[in-house]
Structure 1
C-alpha cells in the first residue's frame, strides 16, 4: 500500500524496502538508462525524492553523484548507511558494492563484492554493467567474461542487453567469432542496443571490413540520439576510424568530427570529458597519418579546452591523450604540469596500484616527447620492446590502444630504427592483414630503404612488389 514501508520488487525481481511504487518505477528507469547508455541517469535523483528513506535509491543516487558532487554523494551514502537495519539483503549487498567504490577500496575487492551480489541476484544487469566497467579499468577482460558467462547469462538467456555485455570481453580476449555471434544475438533481441552495435563494429574493424562497418553503423546511428556523450561520440569515433582506414577522403572524417563529436560539446547536458576522450583518440590517428596539417584549427580549439584542469584525472586514457595534444600545439608548460600531476596521482596510490599503473606514467612521458617532436627521447623512455597491447591497465580497448602502436612505428622510423620498424609492422600485419595504413607505411619505408641502400635493391624490390600486390588485393 502506497505510503507504508514494505518490500517491493524492482525489474530484476530484487527486493527493495520502500514506501513508494513511484520510487521503484524510477529506479527501473535508471536501470534502463544504465544499460542503454542513455543521457538520463539523473532519473535516480527523482527516485530518491519519491522516498528519501529508501536505501537502494540513496545508494544509487550516491553513485550517480560520485563523479559530479562528492559531498552530495557522501550525504546520500550516509542516509543509506543509517537505514541499513531496515534494508533487504539485496540492498545491503548493493550498498557494500557501492560504498567500496566510493571509499577507494582496491578494484579486486570491489569486483569481488559485485561478484558476491551477482551470485545471489544474477538478474541484476545494472550491477553487472558496473562490475564489467571495473574489470575494464583493471585490464581484466577474463574476469569480466567470467562474471557474465558463468554467473549472469544462465539466468538471463533472453534478456535485452546481456549479449552485448557478453560480446565485449570476448572480443577483448581475441575471440572474434564468438563475439560476433553474441553481438548479433543481442541485436536480434534489441536492434537498438548500442553496446551490441558497438561490439559488432569492433569485430568488423578487426577483420578490416571497413565498408561493412560504416554501412552497419550509419544505419544504426538514428538510435544513438538519446545516448550519453560517451556512447554517442564513441560510436561516431568508430565510424570515423572506418572511413579513415577505408581510404575515404579526409573531409568525411572532418564532417563526422564537426557534426557528431565537436557539436556534442554544445549540448547543455554534454559530459565534456567523454567527448574529449573520443575526439583526441581520433586526432592522434590523424596525426600519425600525417594529415593533422589539413584539419585547420580543430585540434588547437579542442586542446584549449584541456587547459582547464577540470578534465584532468577523470580517465587515464584521457590524461595520456591530453599530454600529447597539449605538447603538440606548443603548450609545453601545461603539458609538463599534467605529466607531473599524473606522477603525483600515481604516488598517492597503494603500492599495488603504483606497480600496475607505472606503465601509464611511462606512456605519458613518451607522448609528451612525441608531441613536441623529440622522437629519440620518446624511444628511450619506451625502450626497444614496447607493445601497446600490454597497456590495457590504462582503461582502453584494443582498438583504442592500437594508435599507440602506430605512434611507436613513427618513433622507430624517426629515430633510424628502420629494420625494427619493418619487423614490427610485418608482425602487426600477420594479425590484421587488411589495414591499408600499415601497407602504405611499409611501402614508404621500403622505398626509402631502396633509395638509401642500393645494395639491397633486388631483395627489397621483390619485397616491395609483394607488398604492392597484397595492397592491391585488399
Structure 2
C-alpha cells in the first residue's frame, strides 16, 4: 500500500479498509454498525458519517440503505454519490456498494442482491452488518435455509462475537430446529448478556415473542391486553425516533388477535384510529405484512373505498414484478384478497381464496415471522368455525399444533378460545 493510500485509508470495526481522511466518519460508521446490530434507536448516526466525509463511498451507501424506505429520492442521491466515489474506493467498499445497489431504486433485484451479498461475505466474512442485511433479505424471500447456510459460512471468522449467535439462532428457529436455536442464542448471551437478538430468540422459545407472553393475547384479562397495546405498542409513536411501520404492524397484529377472540366492540375505537393511520399512502407497500393487515383494518371499519384502493394498488404493484417474483408472490396476493374479504365478513369468499388446506407457514414471502404469520391461521380456523365446519377446524388445529413450536401452553389457550 502506497503512502498516499495509507494516509487516506482507515479501518472500520471489522478491520476492513475504508477510503476517508475523517476519523469522525469512521467513528460514525462504526456507531451505525453497533446501532443496527443492537436494534438501537440511534441508527441515524450514519447520516453524520456522510456529513463528515461526503466523498466516502461506504458512508453514502450505508446512508442510502438507511433512508430508502422513508425518503427514496434522498436514497437515490446518496447511492449516486457512493457510485461516483467508486474509482477511489477500496475493494471492500466496492463490494458493499454493489450489494446495496441491488436493493434500492428502479434497478432493485433481490436475487442479484442475494448473490452479491454471498460473494461479499466470502471475501469479507467479518462484516456482520452485511450479514444482517442479507439475513433480512432471506427473511423477506422466505429462505431460512439459505440464511442459515450464509451464517454458517462466516461463523468461524466471528466466534468471539455475540451477534453471530443471535443471527445463527434465528434461521434455526424458522426451520423448527428449536434445541439448536436455543443453544446458539444462549451462547450469544454467555458472551454478552445484553445481546438483543439472542435475548429475543430465547424469549421466543419461552413463548415470549416481542416481550409479550403469547398467552396474554389468548386468555389473559382483556384489560391487561389493552393496557399493553396502549402503553407498550401504540404509545411508541410518541417517541421522536419511532418507526411507524413497525408500530402499525405490531398494533394491527394484536388487534386482529383480540378481534378473533370476539372482542370487536372493545377495540372499536382503537381500530378506527389504526385504520385512519394506515390510510397514509406513504406507508403503503413498505411491508407486505402491513399492507395485508391494513386491508383488514380498513375493511373491518367500513373504509371500503380506501380498502379497495389499497387492494388495487397491491395488485398493480404485483403486476410490475418480474415473472419470477410474481410466481413467488402470487400466493401473497390471494392472502391479501382473503384478509380483505374477512374484514368485510365474506366468509365463503375467504374460504374460496384460502382453500381447504391453508397453512400460513407457507407464506413467509410476505416478510413475517412464524408468530406474525400464525394469526392468519387463526383467521382460517375462525372462518371455518363461523361457516359451521367445526370438525374440520378442530381436526386441522390439533394436527398442526401437536407438531408445532407452539405445542403446550399456547395450544391449550387457543383451544379454549376456539372450541370452548
Q: 1:387 aligns with which of 334, 355, 359?
A: 359
Asked if 2 retains the 8 angstrom alpha-carbon contact of 1:241 and 1:282, the reply is no
Q: 1:105 aligns with which of 104, 108, 116?
A: 108
The answer for the alignment partner of 1:440 in structure 2 is 416
Map Cα deviations across residues 331-359 of structure 1 (whole Å, 9 max, x no partner).
12211111111101000111111111111
Give 1:93-132 correspondences, 5 Å limit: 93-103=95-105, 104-132=107-135
Distance 1:7 1:242 in 2: 53
Q: CA deviation at 1:257?
A: 1.1
**Would you say 1:147 and 2:150 are equivalent positions?**
yes
User: Residue 162 of structure 2 aligns to a residue in which SS?
Assistant: coil
The answer for the alignment partner of 2:232 in structure 1 is 260
Distance 2:162 2:373 in 1: 29
Asked if 1 retains the 8 angstrom alpha-carbon contact of 2:63 and 2:78, the reply is yes
Map Cα deviations across residues 309-351 of structure 1 (whole Å, 9 max, x no partner).
1221110000000001111111122111111111010001111
> Unpaired runs of 5+ in structure 1?
206-212, 214-233, 445-474
Distance 1:443 1:259 in 2: 31
Give 1:407-446 correspondences, 5 Å limit: 407-431=379-403, 432-434=407-409, 435-441=411-417, 443-444=419-420
Give 1:289-300 correspondences, 5 Å limit: 289-295=261-267, 297-300=269-272
**Would you say 1:304 and 2:276 are equivalent positions?**
yes
The answer for the alignment partner of 2:222 in structure 1 is 250
Distance 1:357 1:278 in 2: 22
Map Cα deviations across residues 376-400 of structure 1 (whole Å, 9 max, x no partner).
1111111112111111111111111
Asked if 1 retains the 8 angstrom alpha-carbon contact of 2:204 and 2:210, the reply is no
> Unpaired runs of 5+ in structure 2?
none
The answer for the alignment partner of 1:323 in structure 2 is 295
Q: CA deviation at 1:433?
A: 3.9
Asked if 1 retains the 8 angstrom alpha-carbon contact of 2:255 and 2:267, the reply is no
Q: CA deviation at 1:428?
A: 2.0
**Would you say 1:192 and 2:168 are equivalent positions?**
no
Distance 1:48 1:379 in 2: 52
Asked if 2 retains the 8 angstrom alpha-carbon contact of 1:137 and 1:396, the reply is yes
Asked if 1 retains the 8 angstrom alpha-carbon contact of 2:297 and 2:343, the reply is yes
Distance 1:87 1:20 in 2: 14
Moved more, 21-30 or 64-73: 64-73
Distance 2:268 2:417 in 1: 24
Asked if 2 retains the 8 angstrom alpha-carbon contact of 1:5 and 1:17, the reply is no
Map Cα deviations across residues 51-77 of structure 1 (whole Å, 9 max, x no partner).
111111111111112222222222222
Greater gyration radius:
1
Map Cα deviations across residues 190-214 of structure 1 (whole Å, 9 max, x no partner).
2222211111122122xxxxxxx4x
Q: CA deviation at 1:243?
A: 1.8
Asked if 2 retains the 8 angstrom alpha-carbon contact of 1:2 and 1:20, the reply is no
Asked if 2 retains the 8 angstrom alpha-carbon contact of 1:389 and 1:401, the reply is yes
**Would you say 1:241 and 2:214 are equivalent positions?**
yes
User: Residue 9 of structure 2 aligns to a residue in which SS?
Assistant: strand
Q: CA deviation at 1:240?
A: 5.2
Distance 1:108 1:155 in 2: 25
TM-score between both structures, scaled by the size of structure 2:
0.94
Distance 2:266 2:72 in 1: 42
Distance 1:240 1:202 in 2: 9
User: Residue 295 of structure 1 aligns to a residue in which SS?
Assistant: helix
Distance 2:286 2:46 in 1: 22
Q: CA deviation at 1:3?
A: 12
The answer for the alignment partner of 1:403 in structure 2 is 375
Aligned CA distance change for structure 1 residues 152 and 133 (closer, same or farther; 3 Å): same
TM-score between both structures, scaled by the size of structure 1:
0.84
- The number of aligned residues is 413
Distance 2:84 2:302 in 1: 52
Aligned CA distance change for structure 1 residues 90 and 286 (closer, same or farther; 3 Å): same
Q: CA deviation at 1:87?
A: 1.0
User: Residue 16 of structure 1 aligns to a residue in which SS?
Assistant: strand
**Would you say 1:183 and 2:156 are equivalent positions?**
no
Asked if 1 retains the 8 angstrom alpha-carbon contact of 2:215 and 2:413, the reply is no
Asked if 2 retains the 8 angstrom alpha-carbon contact of 1:96 and 1:113, the reply is yes
Aligned CA distance change for structure 1 residues 254 and 361 (closer, same or farther; 3 Å): same
Asked if 2 retains the 8 angstrom alpha-carbon contact of 1:16 and 1:90, the reply is yes
RMSD over equivalenced CA pairs, Å: 1.8
Distance 2:263 2:191 in 1: 41
Distance 2:194 2:227 in 1: 24
Asked if 2 retains the 8 angstrom alpha-carbon contact of 1:2 and 1:21, the reply is no
